[in-house]
Chains A and B, each alone.
Chain A
Amino acid sequence: MNAVTEPREAVPMGLVPGPFHDRLEALNHQRAWMNWMGVASPAVLDTVEFEYFAIRNQATLFDVSPMMKYRIAGPDAEAVANRLVTRDVTKLRPGRVAYAIWCDEAGNVVDDGTLFRLSATEFRLCCQEPQLAWLDDVAWGFDVTVEDVSRDIAGLALQGPTSCAVLRDAGLAGIEAMKPFDLREFRVDTHAVTVSRTGFTGDLGYELWMAPEDALAVWDRLMEAGRLRGIRVIGYQALDMARIEAGFLLPRVDFVSSETHLRPGRARNPYELGLDWLVALDKPQFNGRRALVRLAKGKPRRRLVAIEIDRDKPAHHALVYHAKRREVGFVTSALWSPTLKRNIAHAWVEAPYDEAGDLWVEIYRQRELVWQRRMARARIVERAFFRHPRRTATPPADW
C-alpha cells in the first residue's frame, strides 16, 4: 500500500453555509442554527409565532437546499423509478411531481419524498435521508446513472396564500396556470428556475430549484416582489407546525426508516402508516411488492393515526391509553393548532384499539418545577387536519 502524499482539501469543521446563508445570517436574530444534513439551517429567525402566521396568511421563504436530491437519468430511468417507489411511475408524465414512498423487501418504508419527472428519461428524487447506496442497489443492472445532486441545486420553498402573486410580480408569467404537482421552467430575470407547485404546508405554495450561484439573486428578487405581500423568511419550527396541521409525516419523528432502525420490529409498512393510497399493487414487480401483497391481505398490527385531543395542552410524547387503563400507543408529533384552534397529534395506536374508541392521552405539564398529570380524551380523525381549498384552486385567487 502506498502512502497518500497528495495534499487533500480540508473538510470544514462543523456546519457549512448553504447557498442562501448570507441572507439568512443577516435575518437570523435568534442565531438559532440547526444541523440539517451538515448545513446551517435556521430553527427560528425572529419569533416562531410571526413566522407561523406568515405561512397561513402571507407568503414565506424557507431554504430547502439541504434536502437530499438525486438525479436518475438514462434509457431505463422510468424502469428504475418504477422499481424504486410503490406508486405507478408510468402514469407520471414529464413535467409532473409525485409524492412517493419506497420500501425494502419486507415491505417496510425506507423513506418518503417527491419524485420529479423532468423528461421521459430523467427523474429527480428529493428526500430527507441519504439514499445513494439504496438507489445504487435498486439501479444495479439497469442502463441508468444515479447521481447525488444535493449540493448542485439550491431550493427555496415559497408557501402561503400570496405566494402565487409574489411569483407573478417577480416576473414568472403564467405561474397561475400551474396545477398542484406541476413542474415548469421559468426565468427570474436571467436566471433559470424550475418551479414545482409542491410544499409541506397543506396550502398554496411552490418550490423553486436553481443553480447555487443564482440563489442570492433569485432570493433578492422574491423578497423585493413580496414586500407588499407580507413575505417573511421562516425557520424550521414554524414549518413543523404547518407540517403537523397538514398531516405530513416526518421520518425519524413519526416513523423509523427500515434502513436505519437497529432493533427488530421497529420498521413500519405503508399500511401501518396509513399510506395505502401510495401503493400500486396492480403494477408488476417493484421493491417490496411480494411482502406488500401479503401485508395488504391482513390487518396492520398498529396504525399511525391522527387524533384530536380535548383541552388545550399539546400532548408532546404522551402515552395513549384505552379506557384510561391500558397503554395502547404514544404520540409522535403534537401541536395546539393556532389556526384550527384544535389540539392535534399523530399517534401510534396498537390494534384493535385503533378502531375501539375510548382513547385517552396522558399529558404531563410542569409549572415552576411542579409536575401535573392530566388524562385528556382523544378521538381519531382525518389525517389532514388543515387542507385549504387554496391548495388546489387553479388559478389561485389574487391575495
Chain B
Amino acid sequence: MSLDAIVIGAGHNGLVAAARLGQAGRRVLVLEAEAAPGGLLGEAGGMRIAAMPTGLHPEVARGLALHRHGLRPGRPMATLALGGDAPLRIEGAAVTGVDAATAAAFADLHRRLARQASALAPMMLKVPPRLRDGGWGELMTLARLGLGVRMLGRAEMRELLRILLSNVWDLLNDEIGDGALAGALAMEATLGGAMGPRSPGTVLPLLYRLAGQPRVMPEGGAGAIVAALVRAVEAAGGQVRTGARVEALLAGDDRVEGVRLAGGEEIRAPLVFSNAHPKATLLDLLGVRHLDAEDVRRARRMATEGMVARLDLALAAPPRLPGGTLPGPGDRIIVAPAMGTLEAAFNAAKYKENPDRPALECHWDAGASRLAVSAQFVPCTLKGGWTAEARDRLVANVLSVLDAAMPGLAAEVGDVTLATPADIEARFGLPGGHWHHGEFRVDQMLMLRPFAGAAQYRMPVAGLYLCGAGAHPGGDVTGLPGWNAAGVALKDGRGR
C-alpha cells in the first residue's frame, strides 16, 4: 500500500491530524511507540498522565463527527477548592462557600476575563501569521490580534494590556483577595508549567485557559476520547500501528521521504506529521544536519521544563470532603489553600528541591477506587537525583497535604503509582517532562510557538509538519494543533 502520510505518535493530536487527513481522502498510517494509543491520554505504564483532560474543541469534535464514533460530550467539571473551613465549589463564574462580597468580586472578574479571553479565542483555530525578519509581518500579526483587543472597547482594552504581562498574584490579590479561591485560580494559571503565581506573564495562561476548553469528564472516562479518535481514524481509512517506535526521519534533497523504525524497517510517505516534541522531532528524529543553526538554537532553547508529578492512589474507602460529602464523578478537587502555598512550592522546585507542601489537583474515579493526583511544583531534575528516598519523600509530602485537606485519607491509601516529570520525560520522549511540550509563555505562544519562524506547522524540510502540543495553540486536550496542522498540509497539497 502506498501511503500519503505518516503520523508519528498516536496521542490525541496525532489521531486528530490523521482523522482529518483520512477524511480528505489521504491514506494515513499512525505509528505509536507504546503498546496502546493515546499518548498522555492513554494508559501507559499503568497510569493516565492526563487524568483530567479539557474537552476537545467543538470544531474538532464536529469536524470529525466524533459523536458517531461513540464520544458523548461530558459536562464541564466543577472545581472544589479545599483549604478553608468548608470546600468552595466553583462552576463557571459562580462560587459557593465564600462570603457574598468575594463571590460578587469573583463573578465580576470571571466575566471580565472571559470577555478579554474571547478577544484571543479566534486565534486558536487560525494558523498564526508568519514572522519574517522581525519586520512588518510581525507588526501586522500583532495588529490583527490588536484589532480584536481594540474591539473590547477602550477601558477594557487598557485593562487587558495592563494585566496581560503581569502576574496572577497581583491580579487576584487586587480583585478577590488571597485564599482557597485565589489558590484554585492561580493553580489554573500555572498548572503544567514552570512559573509560580508571582512570575510575570501568568495572567496570560489564565486567559488562555478561559479562552480554551473547559475540563470535561466524558462518559467512560478520559480513555473514551482516545477510543473515539482511533475509531474516527479507522473509519476514514487510516491505520494505527502500535509498538512501532520511530527512530529517524528519512529526508533527502530538502524533502521528507518517510521514517525508519527502531527495528530498521523503513516506511515511505511524502508527508510526515510529528506529534512528538518539537525538540525531539528536529534534533533527534530529523537531525541537525538538515537544519540551519538558528533553528537548532531555538529548538534547543525552548523552555520545556515541566513541574507536575502524577500519582495514582488506590484507596480502600472513597475520600471524604470536609463536612462528610463524597466528590462526584464531575468534580475536580484542588488543594491550594492560598497562593503563598503555590509560590512556596514553586520556590522549592525552582531550586531543584522537593516541595514540602505541593499544591494538588485530584479526581476520584469511583469505578477504579483510585484517586488521580497531579502535584506541583515538582522539579524534573531534582538535586541529588530521583532516588527511592526522594520519591518516597514526595509521596509522603503529597499524602500529608491530602490528609490535612481530607482528614483520614492517608490511612486508606494502598498502592501508589508515581510518575515524576523525569519519568514523564523518559516515557513519552518529552524533554523536561512538560505536559504541553513547551511552557505557555508569552515568548512561546501564537506566532512564537514552538519558536519564532516555525509557527505554521511546516518545518524547514518540505513535507514535515508538527502536529503536537508544541505547536500553536498548544497543550491541553483541544486537538487544535493536530486539526490545524492537517489543514495547513491539505492546503499546501492543493497549491502544488
A residues near B (Cβ < 8 Å) are 79, 83, 104-106, 134, 137-138, 140-142, 264-265, 284-285, 287-290
Contacts and interface: CB of A to CB of B under 8 A. Distances in A.
B135 A83 contact: no
A142 B133 contact: no
Contacts of B292: 104-105, 287-290
A137 B294 contact: yes
A116 B460 CA distance: 31
The DSSP consensus for interface residues of chain A is loop
Given A137-B294, A285-B291, A287-B293, 6 more contacts: A79-B289, A105-B295, A106-B133, A138-B293, A287-B292, A289-B292
Q: Which of A83, A105, A142, A290 has the most CB of B within 10 A?
A: A105
Contact of A264 (B133, B290, B291, B293): B133
Contact of B288 (A142, A265, A284, A290): A142
Contacts of B300: 140
Contacts of B453: 105
B135 A140 contact: no
A141 B288 contact: yes
Contacts, number: 46
Given A104-B294, A105-B295, A137-B297, A83 B460 contact: no
Interface in B137-152: none
A361 B460 CA distance: 43
A137 B289 contact: no
A265 B132 CA distance: 11
Nearest to B134: A264
Contacts of B133: 106, 264-265
A62 to B, nearest CB: 33
Contacts of B283: 141
A106 B296 CA distance: 14
B293 A140 contact: yes
Shortest 9 CB-CB distances between A and B: which pairs?
A: A141-B288, A105-B292, A137-B293, A105-B294, A138-B293, A264-B135, A137-B297, A287-B292, A287-B293
A222 B73 CA distance: 87
Interface residues of B, number: 20
Interface string B100-134: 00000000000000000000000000000000011
B175 interface: no
Which of B133, B135, B253 has the most chain A CB within a 10 Å cutoff?
A: B133
B254 interface: yes
A140 B294 contact: no
Interface string B263-294: 00000000000000000000100011111111
Given A264-B135, A285-B289, A141 B296 contact: yes
A369 to B, nearest CB: 43
A265 B293 CA distance: 20
A285 B293 contact: no
B296 A137 contact: yes
B454 to A, nearest CB: 11
Contacts of A105: 292-295, 453
Interface string B447-474: 0000001000000100000000000000
Contacts of A104: 292, 294
A290 B295 CA distance: 13
Nearest to B288: A141
Nearest to A133: B297
A23 B21 CA distance: 74
Contact of A140 (B253, B254, B296, B460): B296
Contacts of B290: 285
A93 to B, nearest CB: 23
Contact of A265 (B135, B253, B289, B296): B135
Nearest to A104: B294
Nearest to A79: B289
Contacts of A141: 283, 287-288, 296
A290 B251 CA distance: 15
Nearest to B135: A264
B278 to A, nearest CB: 15
Nearest to B284: A141
25 contacts: A83-B289, A83-B293, A105-B294, A105-B295, A105-B453, A134-B293, A137-B294, A137-B297, A140-B288, A140-B293, A141-B283, A141-B287, A141-B288, A141-B296, A142-B288, A264-B133, A264-B135, A284-B254, A285-B254, A285-B289, A285-B291, A287-B292, A289-B254, A289-B292, A290-B292
A104 B289 CA distance: 15
A75 to B, nearest CB: 14
B387 to A, nearest CB: 26
A259 B177 CA distance: 48
Nearest to B252: A284
A290 B135 contact: no
A141 B290 CA distance: 12
Nearest to A110: B293
Nearest to A141: B288
Contacts of B289: 79, 83, 285
Interface string B234-263: 000000000000000000011000000000
Contacts of B134: 264
Nearest to A140: B296
Contacts of A264: 133-135
A265 B300 CA distance: 27
A144 to B, nearest CB: 12
Interface in B141-191: none
A272 to B, nearest CB: 15
A166 to B, nearest CB: 42
A352 B453 CA distance: 31
Nearest to B132: A106
B279 to A, nearest CB: 12
Contacts of A284: 253-254
A137 B291 CA distance: 11
A289 B294 CA distance: 13
Nearest to A267: B133
A134 B294 CA distance: 9
A283 to B, nearest CB: 12
Nearest to B287: A141
Interface in B16-32: none
Contacts of A288: 292
A108 to B, nearest CB: 10
B297 to A, nearest CB: 5
A137 B292 CA distance: 9
Nearest to B295: A105
A104 B293 CA distance: 8
Nearest to A139: B293
Interface in B409-455: 453
Which of B289, B292, B296 has the largest count of A CB atoms less than 10 A from its CB?
A: B292
A290 B293 contact: no
B294 A290 contact: no
A137 B253 CA distance: 23
A265 B288 CA distance: 27
A290 to B, nearest CB: 6
